[in-house]
Amino acid sequence: MARATAPARKALTTAIAGTLAFVMFFPILWIVVLSFKSEVDAIRAPLQVLSSGWTLDSYGAVQERSDYFKHFWNSVIISLGSTFLGLLVAIPAAWAMAFVPGKQTRNVLMWMLSTKMLPPVGVLVPIYLLFINFGLLDTRIGLVVVLMLINLPIIIWMLYTYFREIPGEILEAARMDGASLREEVLYVLTPMALPGIASTILLNVILAWNEAFWTLNLTASRAAPLTAFIASYSSPEGLFYAKLSAASVMAIAPILIMGWFSQKQLVRGLTFGAVK
């Protein structure tokens, strides 16, 4: 018998969930509100902030002071580039681990994931020195490579989970039908895993888009993505709440919109394997 849920109880849990969601969303909402205020109004008490007048001045000022679109394109190139480069490495890796598992496969997976447990600052100096030596500082290609490496364990792990759901017999059938390894991956495995690959791409684009540690430390101006664009407004010159908020809204809007339209795919990606 299904568990009976009293209407009152249902209303209560809905209210609690709604409150929690609001609390979590509030900082973003507040940033949006502040971005439409003048600098003077933005630092007032919350109620006064709400009752003060609305303005687009901050957006104008931000666009005037720094080139939004340059940063935007840097973000797009870095996040998409690192994700697709990652896929090129991860699809064969995940294929091998899912369909030709060896005794050490699980250990290799754990080892790869364990690299995510290392605090990035621990390898900042060596990577920084490598960047200097190879002339990669403040270049987009340098960031593409670093972010690809940072997210690679997650890409491989996600794809591995998806691939394991694909029956091995289908790949064997392809092999019997004369498909080479490349054809097997291209015509059979990839199309079948497309939903999984799509979720993986989405999640990794978001991770790369929001990545701030490496992008801030390894860029100056030319390759600086939107994270650096935001950071430039929490400056030593003083606190510019309204402009900082406007910059933040401009930085997160694209990824928020993308996330909104691909919600279903994302949720499926994150819960895959749990309910099949």
Residue ranges that bind other proteins, judged by CB under 8 A = 167, 169-170, 172-179, 183, 187-188, 191-192, 194
Give the span between the Cα atoms of 130 and 98, in whole angstroms: 33
We find the least distance from the C-beta atom of residue 201 to other proteins, in angstroms, to be: 18
Q: Concatenate the DSSP letters of all residues of 153-202 into one string.
A: HHHHHHHHHHHHTS-HHHHHHHHHTT--HHHIIIIIIHHHTHHHHHHHHH
How far apart CA 27 and CA 218 sit, in angstroms, is 28
Q: Is 238 helix (H, G, I), strand (E, B) or coil?
A: strand
- Minimum distance, C-beta of residue 239 to other proteins, in the bound complex (Å): 54
Instruction: For other proteins, give the closer residue by CB, 54 or 187.
Output: 187
Cβ proximity to other proteins: between 152 and 174 the closer is 174
Shortest Å distance, C-beta 187 to other proteins: 8
| Strand partners of residue 238 | 235
**259 CB-near residues (< 8 Å, 6+ apart):** 202, 206, 266
Residue whose CB is less far from other proteins, 39 or 183 = 183
Which of 17, 194 has the CB closer to other proteins?
194
- C-beta of 178 vs 238, nearer to other proteins: 178
CA distance 35 to 247: 8
Q: Cβ 83 to other proteins, closest distance in Å?
A: 23
Contact 204, 155 (CB under 8 A): yes
CB 16 to other proteins: min, Å: 40
